[in-house]
């Protein structure tokens, strides 16, 4: 899984944020959607593309757009914090009783539709929760500097808020 890609301002490439900030993978005239599709086909990876919205694409065909982010997320390090939250979320799947990690990994490699749907959905949940945590910080403490660490520490409040919203809609 590759996490932390950001669309460049000019729309002509992506900042991989790996092996040195500012490194570009030129996508030239390819449309972003085609570039994402091509990337997941070639690598078999679930791609998380961090931009104004976060795009999640699976080689098994599951695609999500999480547009719940705010300007608080346009800061250095938030991609790293998001990557940690995603990794933590996916680790929870692998630690479930009766789940054999090697079977899950093989299922991902084999492009098992159900496994990809679960993983892409959980990644989308993690992104949305991270975004809500940032939003709540900006709302509850306006003017206070928001860092990736403060967003991560605010995840319990975001989970509580999401749970309250879900309960009230039933």
pLDDT of residue 127: 93
pLDDT per position as a tens digit, 116-160: 888 999 999 999 999 999 999 888 878 778 899 999 999 999 999
Q: What does residue 118 show for φ and ψ, rounded to 5 degrees?
A: -65, -50
Among candidates 91, 73, 70, which has minimal Cα distance to 6? 73
| Total tally of structural domains belonging to the chain | 1
CB–CB of 32/14 below 8 Å? no
The parent domain of residue 14 ranges over 2-168
Angle, helices 78-94/113-140, rounded to nearest 10 degrees: 140
Q: pTM of this prediction?
A: 0.75
Look at residues 80, 85, 87, 88 and name the one whose alpha carbon lies nearest to residue 4.
80
Predicted pLDDT at 83:
92
Q: What is the pLDDT of residues 46-105, one digit of tens each?
A: 888 887 778 888 888 888 888 888 777 887 788 899 999 999 998 888 888 888 888 888
- Please list, in sequence order, all residues whose beta carbon lies within 8 angstroms of the beta carbon of residue 170, skipping any fewer than 6 positions away: none
Give per-residue pLDDT as tens, 13-32. 444 443 433 334 444 434 67
Residue 9, pLDDT above cutoff 50:
no
């Amino acid at each position: 899984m590759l996490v932390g890609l950001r669309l460049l301002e000019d729309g002509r490439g992506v900042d991989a944020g790996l092996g040195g900030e500012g490194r570009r993978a030129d996508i030239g005239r390819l449309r972003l959607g085609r570039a994402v599709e091509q990337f997941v086909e070639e690598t078999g990876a679930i791609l998380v593309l961090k931009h104004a919205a976060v795009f999640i694409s699976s080689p098994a065909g599951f695609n999500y757009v999480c547009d719940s982010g705010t300007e608080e997320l346009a800061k250095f390090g938030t991609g790293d914090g998001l990557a940690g939250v995603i990794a933590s979320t996916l680790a929870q799947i692998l630690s479930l009783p009766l789940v054999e990690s090697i079977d899950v990994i093989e299922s991902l490699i084999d492009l098992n539709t159900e496994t990809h749907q679960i993983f892409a959905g959980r990644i989308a949940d993690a992104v949305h929760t991270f975004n809500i945590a940032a939003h709540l910080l900006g709302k509850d403490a306006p003017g206070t500097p928001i860092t990736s660490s403060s967003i991560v520490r605010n995840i319990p409040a975001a989970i509580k808020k999401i749970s309250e919203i879900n309960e009230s809609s039933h």
